[in-house]
Copies of this chain bind each other. A is one copy, B any other.
């Protein structure tokens, strides 16, 4: 690869002029800008991002952590994050934790070292572990809220409320609920939402327990649901709903004739099966885009301070020095200009919610007893 030097030599200017001509075209004369550009093109020069990153303290890379890429929910989010990241000038590194909380933390730590910002989709780790792992890096949580971190979640309570309302309107009085993974934040939100909505609407909801957020999880839950006496069921996500329907069918129970089922997420497969799944639609692309925007906002918002990376480094070092009261002699670092007062964040990390919408398709109907 050609370097600034090669271009400088060919254009007959200094390396700094090359750098300027390419990244701050307004700071050089028209004529030199053109000469530099031509030289650059001729040599097919591409600034080395690693070198730039080292110098500037920015990698222009975002990290994305997901629990399972094969889950279409996260595949869609990944796609959206990558797409939005690119238009915002960021490459994206992915990490798949395989639904494993301990791997998750390790992955976050690895990512943290080489990215400017983090998007953590449905992380399973504890609040404190998470906070520690991201280590002050601009971060956005998806489907999870943690004090001190920005987040973007969906209106889980609203989603289950709509589902329950729909079922109630059809005539269902007792509905089963299959929960997701035990540690799931949105699962907890949904359970809470279900309780109040159930009370309000006068429908009895019976929780059949925790199951993996997969097709297999739904299969596993099916028999419990069938035995619950409910005439309808709410699943943690669409994949579970699919598994549930499948197992029910094997047992000779027809959906929605014998049991109504409503999923959550509206991943694309929800419409690929028949009957198509009644489910709560989450704006997947908006979720992914929003996450990137929130990270970028933090990145740019911190721009009155130096570059974020260096900012953090300087602040951290200062903290240590303050604490230890050793190493009092200035060690030649010229970056002492940062002001401790701006350590106090005056705007809290943002928490946003996206609204969701029940979409009624083929898996819900009037209960047999009523019809």
Chain A residues with CB under 8 Å of chain B are 1-3, 5-6, 9, 43, 46, 48-51, 53-54, 59, 61, 68-70, 72, 75-76, 78-79, 82-83, 86, 91-96, 98, 107, 109-111, 113-114, 215, 242-243, 246, 249, 268-269, 272-274, 312-313, 316-317, 320, 327, 331
Contacts and interface: CB of A to CB of B under 8 A. Distances in A.
A40 to B, nearest CB: 14
A315 B89 CA distance: 30
Contacts of A83: 96, 98
Contacts of A6: 317, 320
A82 B94 contact: yes
B1 A316 contact: yes
A113 B5 CA distance: 17
Nearest to A3: B313
A351 B253 CA distance: 50
Given A1-B312, A1-B313, 13 more contacts: A49-B113, A54-B54, A68-B79, A70-B72, A70-B75, A70-B76, A70-B79, A72-B72, A75-B75, A91-B110, A92-B93, A94-B94, A246-B272
Contact of A70 (B48, B268, B272): B268
Nearest to A71: B75
B79 A96 contact: yes
Contacts of A92: 93-94
A86 to B, nearest CB: 8
A93 B93 contact: yes
Contacts of A43: 320
A107 B87 CA distance: 12
A96 B82 contact: yes
Given A70-B72, A93-B61, A93-B93, A49 B114 contact: yes
A109 B2 CA distance: 14
B272 A215 contact: yes
Contact of A95 (B82, B246, B331): B82
A41 to B, nearest CB: 13
Given A6-B317, A269-B269, A274-B246, A59 B70 contact: no
Nearest to A273: B273
12 contacts: A1-B113, A6-B317, A48-B54, A50-B114, A69-B75, A69-B79, A70-B72, A70-B268, A78-B94, A82-B95, A83-B98, A246-B274
Contacts of A331: 5
Q: Which residue among A43, A268, A327 has the maximum number of chain B CB atoms within 10 Å of its CB?
A: A268
Contacts of A69: 75-76, 78-79, 82
Q: Which residue among A3, A46, A48, A114 has the maximum number of chain B CB atoms within 10 Å of its CB?
A: A114
A53 to B, nearest CB: 5
Contacts of A72: 70, 72, 75
A272 B96 contact: no
Contacts of A215: 268, 272
Contacts of A49: 113-114
Contacts of A5: 331
Nearest to A316: B1
A90 to B, nearest CB: 10
Nearest to A313: B1
A116 to B, nearest CB: 11
A92 to B, nearest CB: 6
B48 A50 contact: no
A157 to B, nearest CB: 28
A347 B158 CA distance: 61
